[in-house]
Structure 1
Amino acid sequence: MPRRHLHMTGADGAALSAALRDLRTRLGVPQDFPPEVRAEAERAAKAPRPPAPNAPDVLDATDLALFTIDPPTSTDLDQAMHLARRPGGGFRVHYAIADVAAFVTPGGALDAEAHRRVTTLYFPDGRVPLHPPVLSEGAASLLPGQTCPALLWRLDLDADGRVVSTEVRRALVRSRAKLDYEGVQKMIDGGTAEEPLALLKDIGALREALETERGGISLNVPEQEVVEQDGTYTLVYRAPLPADGWNAQISLMTGMAAADLMIASGTGILRTLPSAPDGAVGRLRRAAQALRIDWPHHVPYAQLVRSLDPHLPAHAAFLQECTALLRGAGYTAFTNGEVPSPALHAAVAAPYAHCTAPLRRLVDRYSGELCLAAVAGTAAPEWAVAALATLPKEMADGTRLANAVERGCVDLVEAALLKDRVGETFEATVIDVKDHEPTVGTVHLEDPAVVGRVESPAAPLPLGSRIRVTLTSADPATAAGVLFTVA
């Protein structure tokens, strides 16, 4: 799909800002932090909590030349890495994760507010953070040149990229550089990246090969992004770069290692996804046939997905259909060795846990603490174990809200872009058709960069085909998004 920038006028921006305020109210999005939460965060930023008395000594790892990879404007930096070759072959990955538990006292006002918010929410006109900015964008963030507490993972890999040993402990770290995806891609492609960064491609590619081998999938689906630029809003399609995938593999690898540690210890919380329901893969094969995508029976699903080009309309439509296999993810907690069976995440094709984004996601603070205890061979903190009874529901509720915010924001921007063009006809590609209602589906417009609902008065929608559609409604005040009918 194209990456097309669309600029709104100042008047549109003002109207959209009002609609976004209404969206916050309608969804019950938290507002400013209460005074007692801000005060506790200010105190914690100046004096992080020391580790528990029986915890291993904090490692001074400030000499490790870590770097972060994030969008250019990000300041809530959860992860920093350093990559190296091991003597005798293989690789060593150091992966530092912000130590939020060093700043949040269990049972305090800050902790209670984090449980109320659950996750950071992103709007075009600003984020609604999980923690006060003095922590999430300040003392707890792995900003370059700042010494701060972290959970430092050390993952040793063999020459094929398989993890052969895992260690995690509390440490003091200092990142050296804040990099972004496009810059990383240019340096690696141009051969100017130094080895700790250049190895991201080598390790990422090996991990991608292992993912395919075990039957895991990573869908390379272009996403709509809403960004603010020069006081107005822009809606763009962004197809992930290879560097996005390599970076994601480091996080996935750490999440898999965390799951293994918690399963071995008998206490933890996993990110789980059930296998696709009966008939789902058969439906995908029918979709591939309709889209004229060659899918030989001997080719595994994961291998086919990796061969597709998301810039081709038919391939993009098929990838959109594939997202149906990824629905139903949740969180599963366990204690006393009662590990659920199966304990897999179907898309990862292995046990997996969220542990690499504690500044932005509540559960990661808890999984980090459980992993520290598992490695040290000590009992997990009581506050962490007690939270496992309610965390799955809290995370499910928070995820639903985050999804509603994301879709609501895109709907509003689309409607604002098109509100003066009702009645116009556009070229579009059908990227989804409802199973039991084939006259209803989703279309992708190349110009403007919009994905919207479409209805056909009579004939079923032709999945993957280009059609002409007429815009029948677009009102940012109603939060209904945009609606097209087949012309």
Structure 2
Amino acid sequence: MPRAAVPPGAAGAPMVDAVRIPRATISPTRTGVLPPPRPPPARHGPLYSGPAPRDVRSPGRQPGRPAAALGAGGASNPGASYRRPPRPYQGYYQGGAAAEGGRGSYAQSWGAPARYAQRRSSSPAAAEPAEAVRGAGGARGSVAAGAASSRGAGRGAYGSGYHQYGSRQYGSGSNGYGYGHGHGSYNGGGGLYYGPNGPASPATQARALHVARQQWTAAARLRLHAAKGSGGSASAAPGALAAGCLVEFERNDKGVLGLVAGPDGKKNWFVVDTTGRRSSIAPKQVSLLLPGSGYTDSDVASFAAAAEGADLSLLEIAWEIALESDGPLELSELASLLYDDTSPRSLYVTYRMLQRDGLYFKQTGKSSTTAPTFSPRRAEDVAQLRRQAEEAEAARQAAEGWRQAVAAARNARTRAQQPSGEAWATGPFAHRIAAIRAVAVCNPAASSGPAVDEPTLKLALESMQLAGAGSRADPDAAAGFLTELGVLRRHEPLALLRRGVALGADAEEERQAAALLAAPPPDPDANSRLDLTALPVFTIDDATTTEVDDGLSVERLPGGRGVRLWVHVADPTRWIQPGSSLDLNGRRRSRTLYLPWGSVPMFPRALAEGPFSLRAGEVCDALSVGVELLPDGSLQRPTVAPSRVRVSHKLTYEAADAALAEAEAAEAWRAAEGAAAGAEEPVGGLEAAVAADLLELRRAALKRRAYRESRGCIEIPLPEAKIHVPYSHLDRARPGVTISRISQWESASRSLVAEMMILAGEAVGTIGSEASLPLPYRSQDTPDLPPAHLLAAIPEGPCRGFALKRCMTRSSVASAPSPHASLALDAYVQFTSPIRRYSDFMAHANLKAWLRGEAPPFSGSTINAVSEAAAEAGRELGAAERESENYWAAEYMRLNSEAELPATFLGWQREELRLAAFLLENQGLEAVVRLPPGTAGEALAPGDRAVLGVSEANPAAGFFRLFVAGWTSGGAAKGDEEAEEEGEEVEVVGEGAGGGEVVEVVQG
């Protein structure tokens, strides 16, 4: 009859109109989007045929087999019938699970004690239980009655142990089916309860699942109890091997299912695995021998498929039950617990589950004569293993994510498509990037620089191996890998980083600098500062200079008494107190580091380029040195005082040279013509009065040089090479590198500035000496120069400068004055660069304290100790600067490999080794090269000129290789043709020949 006509609770009526549909992803502990219900089963065919374990209430069935077929209306059911007498399990009854056609009906099964549903049918079978039922208060299992047909598939109250209700109206008849196969609803499987109006509420489903688990667990306990003592049906005894047996054997530390094909000699056996591969195995390789024989290849495939599809989540429930047993469990006991079945298929599925997931059970027994046994792990061990497994899985996923991120960065077509260095450093793989970077910037061969500990090295190596970046984690390999990812730029200054040179202030320094800017400290010299803001002040620097620490002024004295020259120096001690954190950090750095692409300031850049600097158009605090010159150029009445100045003219060296040249030409024309200068006539782009001050400074500089020459100063007129590359080009494949020749002897403004700086240093040295004030006095011993006639034979300019430089001695710093030979001064203090040189900062601090009548903050012993440390740090910084310059010089040569380079032979560095020093004329770059044996050495003389070419350049190693394309002048020119025929190369073996000091004049 139609469902609506059956009264609730009447015989034949469903107790609950719901159907359970398995879903492998639903569990009581999980939430998610529920899928739509599956359609009802087909009219003919199995209810379920997947690889999941069998139904608990069909004891003779194998996993994955259909329970029964669907009865056809009014016809006999073509499906199988399972008839088995009831077996008591402490008040539970095992239902038979059969349906045969005809117009049969099943009654409700409900309550306790158990009642039986009587089957009426034309079949000769006697009445048998149709559903398993609980005692009083138990769950309800129903089979619907219908006018057409009915079926009971053995899926009642227990079903597979997971659902309560199993009935639903279907078609014109009523087919009762409880779809509970798969064991999924409790733990990682899945099932959904549907009523007349769709899915049941979440609360109903959760309750149903809870009850289902309790029911399955109770039944499983009974099965385990029954299985205990019954003995196992599987063995691993090699002696039982025979053709047609099914075994699992070990191959490459993995279990493989195979069919024994026959013996291989006296001891071994041939087996065929699921792929058809034939192998010879020894008996000791067999880990499981399944009972029975006569297996076929199809059994191998079906057993393997069933094991592969097994629900491993069932092991947790089995483990909870097994904890109540004493001693280890045999494989057959576990199979009975899980599936109520000890058939070979169930045994293998169980064994494979235990091997795949060792979380809950450990194998405790296996020998040549016994079957494997398994013991449940302790709860605390399971918790620990679960944590370890979760950690391992998280690590696996993280490693896979790392591989994918590296692959994406490698596959990017441009740098812009790659993650930035900051993104790498702050992203999910920051720890891996940090470890590889630590290796990239370490330098095990250096005396200083960052070190790498063992865990960091291990992580770096692991990360590079995961990314397929080789099997080594040395600095060069790590740097190359990071460059490939875009973490490091193509031209990252690795030489500096490997020396431990920080490329900027740290966060704490930046915070302190910001605090100073926000709240400037009190100025202890506020009341004593001279107001010199009415004087025009010139600053003359390179166009790229950002730390402006000196300016120049001319004060015309009243009554025609001449002029007073002023050198105004930035006053960072106005902001930083000796002993403060910023002071100590500056002391550690010792000076600003100048590099082809920029600088690393001694103090935080916000301060060094901000209030410390003499900025154009602003009133700035300064420490000013004023002097008057006697007719011979010596100093008269030097003074020093805190001041306030305003920079009125910010000039580059090129602009100052042009202005001086025009002013000198105009003055020479007026002198020749006897004309007076126009009061308002501009000169070199400057007002007439300003140009006059600039010209006055030039005349004073010439007078000072003449004075020092008269005292025996030593000048080394060698040009410098200024290598420059824009900072933004450090990641370019072809950066814009330039090398320019710079010489103070070839630039009027550079010579002017140099002389004024020396003048200020002498004035401070004189003041400090007379006051017995401890200052960082710089001195130099008298060098051992070549005889005058030999020097006179060397051409003036770079060639003579090269000869003199090789004779010079190093300068030193001490707290008491001593003569400086090359400058020809009795006392000299470097004073004009306190922003970028710490010795100058100390001089400022002591001078200002002396002017205030206070004790100097730096004692003589402190000055000596700090100067010694600064000298050591300076050597390290100098080496870092040279490495950077060598890198970019080699990069310049690489980019200009086809260029012809005019060069001047300066002299022999080591004639016995044929090491010659050349000056690249356009670049101002010195290179020591090895001349080939065919060169007419006896004909070479300083000043001979050649054309060199580039044959090789290796920026990473900091060297380039040149060859002599020809000689263009001098005695060696006659051998030019012979040299070209030989076509030999010359090798650059070093740069900057000579170990002497570069005179302070060039320091400015």
Alpha-carbon deviation of 1:71?
A: 0.9
Q: Does 1:63 align with 2:538?
A: no
**2:645 & 2:777 partners in 1: Cα distance?**
27
Aligned twin of 1:256: 762
SS in 1 for 2:918: strand
Equivalent runs, 1:167-182 vs 2, <5 Å: 167-182=639-654
Mapping 1:323-338, distance limit 5 Å = 323-334=805-816
* Shift in alpha-carbon separation, 1:382–1:359, aligned structure 2, 3 A: closer
Q: State how far apart, in whole Å, the 2-side matches of 1:107 and 1:257 are.
A: 27
Q: Which residue of 1 aligns with 2:715?
A: 218
Q: Give the alignment of 1:349-428 within 5 angstroms.
A: 349-350=824-825, 351-374=827-850, 376=851, 378-383=853-858, 385=860, 387-419=862-894, 428=903
Alignment-derived partner of residue 233 in structure 1: 737
Range with bigger deviation, 406-415 or 109-118? 406-415
How many Å separate the matches in 2 of 1:107 and 1:288? 52
Please point out which of 446, 450, 453 is paired with 2:928: 453
C-alpha distance 422-67 of structure 1, shift in aligned 2 (>3 A): closer
Partner of 1:30: 502
**Residue 822 of structure 2 is aligned to residue 347 of structure 1:** yes
Per the alignment, residue 574 of structure 2 pairs with 102
Q: How does 1:177-188 map to 2 (within 5 A)?
A: 177-188=649-660
Q: Residue 317 of structure 1 aligns to which amino acid in structure 2?
A: C
Q: Deviations over 1:101-137 (max 9, x none)?
A: 1111222221111011111111122211111111111
For 2:912 and 2:522, the matched residues in 1 are separated by 58
Distance 2:523 2:898 in 1: 63
Q: Which residue of 2 aligns with 1:479?
A: 958
3-state SS in 2 of match to 1:355: coil
Contact kept, 8 Å, 2:509 with 2:582, in 1: the verdict is yes
Contact 1:45 1:103 in 2 (8 A): no
Deviation at 1:252, TM superposition (A): 0.4
Distance 2:551 2:922 in 1: 38
Equivalent residue number for residue 634 of structure 2: 162
Corresponding residue number in structure 1 for 2:800: 318
SS of corresponding position for 2:610: helix
State the shift of 1:47 in Å.
3.9
Give 1:347 shift. 1.0
1:117-136 equivalences in 2 (<5 Å):
117-136=589-608
- The corresponding residue for 1:84 is 555
Q: 1:106 to 1:346 in 2, by over 3 A?
A: same
1:45 paired to 2:517: yes
SS at match of 1:257: helix
Alpha-carbon distance change, 115 to 148 in structure 1, aligned in 2, over 3 angstroms: same
Worse overlay, 430-439 or 174-183: 430-439
Which of 112-121 and 323-332 deviates more?
323-332
Give per-residue Cα distances to partners, 1:202-260, cap 9 Å, x unaligned. Answer: 11111111111111133332111112369522111123301211121111011011111
The 3 A distance-change label for structure 1 pair 196 and 427 is: closer
Shift in CA distance, 228/421, structure 1 to aligned 2, threshold 3 Å: closer
2:710 maps to amino acid: E
Deviation at 1:386, TM superposition (A): 5.9
Task: Kindly state the Cα deviation for residue 384 of structure 1 after the two structures are TM-superposed.
Answer: 5.6
**8 Å contact kept, 2:572–2:612:** yes
How many residues of Structure 1 are paired with residues of Structure 2 in the alignment?
Answer: 441
Instruction: Tell me, in whole angstroms, the C-alpha distance in 1 between the residues paired with 2:812 and 2:858.
Output: 22
Q: Cα gap change, 1:68/1:281 in structure 2, threshold over 3 Å: closer, same or farther?
A: same
Q: Distance in 2 between matches of 1:391 and 1:56?
A: 31
CA distance in 2 between counterparts of 1:48 and 1:125 reads 32
The answer to whether the 8 Å contact 1:89/1:159 transfers is no
Output the amino acid matched with 1:183.
Answer: A
Partner SS for 1:407: helix
The alpha carbon displacement at 1:348 in A equals 0.7
Deviates more, 1:181-190 or 1:132-141: 181-190
**Residue by residue, what CA displacement relative to the aligned partner does 1:173-212 show, whole Å, maximum 9, x if unpaired?**
2212211111112112212152222211111111111111
Match of 1:198 in 2: 695
Instruction: Report what 1:4 is aligned to.
Output: none
8 Å CA contact 2:660–2:748 kept in 1: the answer is: no
Q: Quick one: structure 1 residues 448 and 187, their matched pair in 2 at CA, closer, same or farther if it must change by over 3 Å?
A: closer
Deviations 1:316-347 (A, max 9, x none): 2222222224441121223xxxx5xxx11111
Query: Which entry has the higher C-alpha Rg, 1 or 2?
Result: 2
Distance change >3 Å, CA 269–CA 56, structure 1 → 2: farther
Distance 1:59 1:183 in 2: 30
Aligned residues of 1:412 and 1:481 also touching (Cα < 8 A): no
- CA displacement, residues 279-304 of structure 1 (integer Å, 9 cap, x when unaligned): x323x754653x4x4xxxxxxxxxxx
TM-score (norm 2): 0.41
Task: Tell me: CA distance 1:453–1:482, structure 2 relative to 1, closer, same or farther (3 Å).
Answer: farther
Preserved contact between residue 452 and residue 483 of structure 1 (Cα < 8 Å): no
Query: 2: CA distance between counterparts of 1:412 and 1:247?
Result: 30
Q: Any gaps of 5 or more consecutive residues in structure 1? A: 1-9, 294-307, 309-314
Q: Percent identity?
A: 24
Cα 1:127/1:481, change in 2 over 3 Å: farther
In structure 1, how many angstroms separate the alpha carbons of the residues matched to 2:923 and 2:596? Answer: 18
Pair 1:481–1:116, CA change in 2 (3 A): farther
TM-score, normalised with respect to structure 1: 0.81
C-alpha separation between the residues in 2 aligned to 1:81 and 1:405? 32
CA gap 1:228/1:480 in 2 versus in 1, 3 angstroms = closer
SS at match of 2:551: strand
Are 2:751 and 1:245 equivalent residues in the alignment? yes
Greater percentage in strand: 1
CA contact (8 A) 1:90 1:158 kept: no
Secondary structure, aligned partner of 2:737: strand
Q: Please state whether the residue corresponding to 1:116 is helix, strand or coil.
A: helix
1:153 counterpart letter in structure 2: V
Task: Give 1:445 shift.
Answer: 3.3
The whole-number CA distance in structure 1 between the counterparts of 2:950 and 2:530 is 60
Task: Check the 8 A contact 1:271/1:345 in 2, yes or no.
Answer: yes
Shift of 1:443: 1.7
Inter-CA distance 447–360: structure 2 relative to 1 (3 Å threshold) = closer
Query: Helix, strand or coil for the counterpart of 1:368?
Result: helix
The Cα of 1:49 is off from its aligned counterpart by 3.5
TM superposition shift of 1:142? 0.1
Q: Cα distance 1:259–1:449, how it changes in 2: closer, same or farther (>3 A)?
A: closer
Q: Distance in 2 between matches of 1:447 and 1:186?
A: 21
Change (3 A) 1:93 1:423: closer
Deviation at 1:414, TM superposition (A): 2.2
Cα drift, residue 357 of structure 1? 0.5
Q: Is the 8 A contact 2:624 2:641 kept in 1?
A: yes
Cα distance change, pair 400–130 in 1 and its aligned pair in 2 (3 A): same
